[in-house]
């Protein structure tokens, strides 16, 4: 196949990840749990995000925070110690201080606190990701959704710029929408 006909590298990466998860599920004859797929997407979002140097020094862990009572926490916990661009992931409960987080996953359980969390994070270099239909369009960087049994995502560049995050054009091309 000529190189100009191949899909972009990022698209191949996501496709291979999804194909690998689907193949593993087929081998078990079980569908891949939705939360496991969402956790895989969160992992890939970190691959294609870049934090300011003062926020994430070379080799320092990427702190991935989520509500321990949330539906995604168990799946996200499996990302602990995985390495992204030379940085190990450290999964932790989104407790009192969120400023130490590099990635914050918010979901339905966080609806009541979202506005407070957003104020606390103002200007902090934190990649916010949500799978909640209410929180998603309300100021997170990446909002995931399920559409036709597939996970899709939208990117809001305003909070990404405010957080001083650089999102790869490869990631942006895969988004359903970029605002």
Asked whether the predicted pLDDT for residue 100 surpasses 90, the reply is: no
Residue 70 lies in a domain: yes
Strand order in the sheet with 83-84: 83-84, 87-93, 62-66, 103-106, 127-130, 142-147, 150-155, 177-178
What is the tens place of the pLDDT at every residue in 13-66?
554 455 444 444 444 556 789 999 999 999 999 999 999 999 998 889 999 999
Q: What is the CATH number of the domain that holds 61?
A: 3.40.50
Residue 7 counted as domain residue? no
pLDDT at 86: 94
**12, pLDDT greater than 50:** yes
What is the extent of the structural domain holding 71? 33-178
> For 79-101, what is the mean pLDDT?
90
pLDDT of residue 1: 42
Task: Give the chain's domain count.
Answer: 1
Mean pLDDT of the chain, nearest integer: 87
Q: What does the pLDDT read at residue 2?
A: 43
Q: Assess if residue 93 is contained within a domain.
A: yes
Strands (E), the chain: 49-50, 62-66, 83-84, 87-93, 103-106, 127-130, 142-147, 150-155, 166-167, 177-178
Q: Is the pLDDT reported for residue 3 higher than 90?
A: no
Six-digit token string for 89: 């992931």
CA distances from 140 to 22, 31, 98, 102, 168 (A): 28, 29, 14, 13, 17
- Buried b / exposed e along 90-114 (16+ C-beta atoms within 10 A): bbbebeeebeebbbbbbbbbbeeeb
C-alpha dihedral sign at 54, 59, 60, 66: positive
What pTM was computed for the model? Answer: 0.82
Residue 107 lies in a domain: yes
- The region of weakest confidence among 2-6, 72-76, 152-156 is 2-6
pLDDT at 6 over 50: no
In a domain, 47, yes or no: yes
Please give the backbone phi and psi of residue 126, each rounded to the nearest 5 degrees, phi first.
Answer: -125, 125
Residue 15, in any domain of the structure: no
Q: Is 80 helix (H, G, I), strand (E, B) or coil?
A: coil
CB 144 within 8 A of CB 136: yes
Q: Determine, yes or no, domain membership for 78.
A: yes
Residue 154 pLDDT exceeds 70 = yes
Q: Per the domain annotation, does 11 fall within a domain?
A: no
């Amino acid at each position: 196949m000529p190189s100009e006909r191949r899909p972009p590298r990022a698209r191949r990466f996501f496709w291979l990840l999804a194909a690998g998860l689907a193949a593993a599920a087929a081998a078990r004859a079980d569908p891949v749990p939705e939360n496991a797929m969402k956790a895989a997407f969160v992992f890939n979002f970190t691959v294609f995000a870049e934090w300011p140097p003062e926020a994430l020094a070379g080799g320092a862990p990427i702190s991935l925070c989520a509500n321990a009572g949330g539906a995604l926490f168990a799946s996200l916990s499996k990302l602990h110690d995985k390495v992204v661009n030379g940085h190990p992931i450290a999964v932790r409960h989104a407790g009192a201080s969120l400023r130490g987080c590099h990635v914050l996953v918010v979901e339905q359980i966080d609806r009541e606190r979202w506005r407070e969390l957003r104020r606390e994070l103002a200007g902090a270099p934190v990649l916010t990701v949500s799978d909640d239909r209410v929180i998603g369009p309300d100021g997170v960087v990446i909002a995931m959704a399920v559409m036709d049994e597939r996970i899709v995502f939208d990117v809001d560049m305003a909070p990404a710029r405010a957080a001083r995050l650089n999102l790869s054009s490869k990631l942006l091309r895969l988004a359903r929408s970029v605002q």
